[in-house]
Chain A
Amino acid sequence: MKITRDDVSRVAELAYLDLSESELEMYRAQIDEILEYIGKLNELDTSNVAPMAQVLTDDQTADATLREDVEVPCGIAAEVLRGAPDPEPPFFRVPKVIEK
């Protein structure tokens, strides 16, 4: 077994994700099977391979990744706030975090 129920519970905690008892058990079994399958990657010796985080080569992104850091007004703040679950312009309101 690759993953325990406690592992799933701990990971759900890290991801701020409420899971029911039945979900915990279902995901444990399914993810265990997936991790078992993923284990086939260990057949490959990758000790001399550099990890690849993205596909674009340097020459294509030379002028794409860097730009002048200039301030541009987006002008949509009011619209964004209107779409929020509990807005109090110019703020998003959330349950109290810090006790007095």
Chain B
Amino acid sequence: MASSWTIDSVKEALTTKKISARELTAEFYRRIAEKNPAINGYLALSQERAYAQADKVDALIASGKQLPALGGVPIAVKDVLSTRGTVTTCGSKILEHYVPPYDATAVKRLEEAGAILLGKTNCDEFAMGSSNENSAYGPVKNPVAPDRVPGGSSGGSAAVVAADLAVASLGTDTGGSIRQPGALCGIPAMMGSYGRVSRYGLIAFASSLDRIGPFAHSVKDVAAVLQVIAGRDANDSTSTTAPVPVYTDEIGKPVKGMRIGVPRDYFAEGLDAGVRSKVEAGIELLKQLGCEAVDIRMPHTDYAIATYYIIATAEASSNLARYDGVRFGLRVDDPTLLGMYRKTRGAGFGPEVKRRIVLGTYVLSAGYYDAYYLKGQKVRALIAQDFRDAFQKVDAIVTPTSPIPAFKLGEKTADPLAMYLADIYTVTGSLAGVPGISVPCGNTPQGLPVGLQMFGPAFGESQILRLAHAFEQAGGNRG
């Protein structure tokens, strides 16, 4: 296959009339029909909507008007983002036939910028998981190694881009669910700061942690998609009015003299040797580009998983209370209301979601609230302080994205705690609210992609995009 489409190459091909938006859309659907059955990245296709949008783009071109930022670019969105008129399941049986009555703000903004929505991507049920094996609709296969997981929870969004079944996609990240699948599938993937992108229409898992962000083939395209979805939205009171820089301009600025923090706490026991050597080589490359590497400590890193699984499950148990068989989704009949609730939830939720509801309800329950939930919130403050302290000394923090490369399907499903521990390097930034990007940094000796993670200070998206772009341009992904 020819090299992957990018936002620029799509727009160039359209404006020079090498291909029409309708033909391009059809070409992507042809590829999807051919390759998706093996990958299982798409759960639903939105052809009618896609062709209607393609025709609008073609009309724009015919009238000689300039294409908007994402004019004619075929994209996919994770199935936890509401799409009006298109089934949105969250990878769950409880929402198998749910058709949202409105669009998520991020989806709306993509379409307003001319993007063509091809379909909805597979994910772990309610975005809970690190391997995509918790989807009620079957796991996604990693396009790089089909016997392995694509990562999760946004496994479908990563896989469809990696397999050239979309030019870019949106995922969501609560504890690593964008960055980790990006790393495992070998493509750039980013979550902006908490508050950078409106969560309106994102079906909630853990409201203080959930973020929406892009996957693409290049850092430049990641920046272009973030540009479109970022910014204040009156429908999400946690979306901030902090100004949105022109990321696509920012990425070209020099990185010479940038100070990059390397926390030795992220290179501890459990880090795969193949991943470690690639990440260390990546840091060397950044030094060659003129960055100054600084040894830093982030002493509460080792407590992040425990903290995350208290806070995320507590918030999930509350958010998922809405699935009760009354207003939407599945209902399992019973003569009593309480019986109807219990049976609906017992039948509709899968094993990981139930596990988290039980754990989350427990840590919030009378007698345990202080010992678990309150304690977790206090340690979260310490983890956030680690980041603030670090950003007094450095401009960005560079770490591995995942301690391990893509693992075999089924390898970790029997041991939930072992699966949780794989999130060690991503959950810290989730708890602190800072932006993070994973950029490909070569392959392990077995040929599995490795991701280099870069954290910036809150609303410092520009500097990590710039760093990631320079790294990519310097050939950081080769080898």
Contacts and interface: CB of A to CB of B under 8 A. Distances in A.
A56 B325 CA distance: 34
A31 B381 contact: no
Given A51-B377, A52-B380, A61-B238, A40 B303 contact: yes
A33, A38, A76, A92: residue with the most chain B Cβ atoms closer than 10 Å: A38
B33 interface: no
Contacts of A27: 354-355, 358
A2 B102 CA distance: 44
B431 to A, nearest CB: 8
A97 B337 contact: yes
B240 A64 contact: yes
A95 B335 contact: yes
Contacts of B381: 49-52
Contacts of B417: 30, 33-34, 37
Interface SS of chain A:
loop
Nearest to B379: A41
Given A30-B417, A84-B326, A84-B327, A55 B378 contact: no
B354 A83 contact: no
B208 interface: yes
B336 interface: yes
Given A7-B362, A85-B326, A95 B337 contact: yes
B336 A95 contact: yes
Contacts of B194: 55-56
Given A7-B362, A30-B417, A34-B420, A60 B195 contact: yes
A55 B309 contact: no
B337 A14 contact: no
Contacts of B382: 44, 46, 49
A14 B368 CA distance: 14
B83 to A, nearest CB: 13
Nearest to B102: A76
B101, B241, B379: residue with the most chain A Cβ atoms closer than 10 Å: B101
A44 B380 CA distance: 12
A53 interface: yes
B296 interface: no
B372 interface: yes
A88 B340 CA distance: 18
Nearest to A9: B358
Interface string A15-37: 11111000100010011011101
Interface in B355-392: 355, 357-359, 361-362, 365, 372, 374-382, 384
B242 interface: yes
Contact of A64 (B238, B307, B459): B238
Interface in A43-71: 43-44, 46, 49-57, 60-61, 63-65, 67
A34 B361 contact: no
Nearest to A50: B381
A40 B376 CA distance: 11
A38 B238 CA distance: 29
Nearest to A86: B331
Contacts of A35: 359, 362, 372
Interface in B336-360: 336-343, 345-347, 349, 351, 354-355, 357-359
A11 B330 CA distance: 22
B326 to A, nearest CB: 5
A99 B194 CA distance: 48
Contacts of A55: 194-195, 208, 384, 432-433, 458
B334 interface: yes
Given A8-B358, A56-B195, A18 B345 contact: yes
B419 to A, nearest CB: 11
A7 B365 CA distance: 10
Nearest to B208: A54
Contacts of A40: 302-303, 306
Contact of B357 (A17, A44, A84): A17
B105 interface: no
Contacts of A1: none
A50 B337 contact: no
8 closest cross-chain pairs (CB), A and B: A18-B346, A55-B433, A51-B377, A85-B331, A46-B378, A52-B381, A79-B101, A16-B341
Interface of A: 3, 7-8, 11-12, 14-19, 23, 27, 30-31, 33-35, 37-38, 40-44, 46, 49-57, 60-61, 63-65, 67, 76, 79-80, 83-86, 92, 94-97
17 contacts: A17-B349, A17-B357, A33-B417, A34-B416, A37-B306, A44-B300, A49-B382, A51-B378, A55-B458, A60-B195, A60-B459, A61-B238, A64-B239, A76-B101, A76-B102, A85-B329, A92-B327
Interface of B: 98-99, 101-102, 194-195, 208, 232, 234, 237-242, 300, 302-303, 305-307, 309-310, 317, 321, 324-331, 333-343, 345-347, 349, 351, 354-355, 357-359, 361-362, 365, 372, 374-382, 384, 416-417, 420, 432-433, 458-459
Given A34-B420, A41-B376, 17 more contacts: A11-B365, A37-B417, A41-B303, A44-B379, A51-B377, A52-B378, A52-B380, A54-B238, A61-B237, A63-B241, A64-B232, A64-B237, A67-B234, A84-B328, A95-B333, A95-B337, A95-B340
